[in-house]
Amino acid sequence: MTTAHEDTLRERVARLETKVDHLSEALDKAVTKVDEMHGVMMQAKGARWVLIAAASIAGALAGFAAKFTGLINGLPR
């Protein structure tokens, strides 16, 4: 014969096993996504530096244009 305490303990263990299974599946999916993102970043290594250089050049050109066209003098301080 099993007691009520043993039954509730078995139910709790069964629920815990189910939760662990779901967490394991979710973790496996997350690891797969991180691996895919890492692969994409490694492929785009050169493109990342091109984007950084383009943004730097655009910022410098905008700064020079603002300085030489007098836009900065018209802004409130």
In the chain, DSSP finds a helix count (H) and a strand count (E) of: 2, 0
Range 33-40, long-range pairs (CB < 8 A, 24+ positions): none
pLDDT beyond 80 at 38: yes
- pTM (two decimals): 0.48
Greater confidence, 42 or 28?
28
Q: Which domain holds residue 6?
A: 1-41
**Does residue 77 carry a pLDDT above 60?**
no
Q: Say whether both 2 and 36 belong to one domain.
A: yes
Q: Please check the confidence at residue 1 and state whether its pLDDT lies above 60.
A: no
* Same-domain pairing of 60 and 74: yes
What residues have CB less than 8 Å from 65, skipping those under 6 apart?
A: 71
State how many domains the chain has. Answer: 2
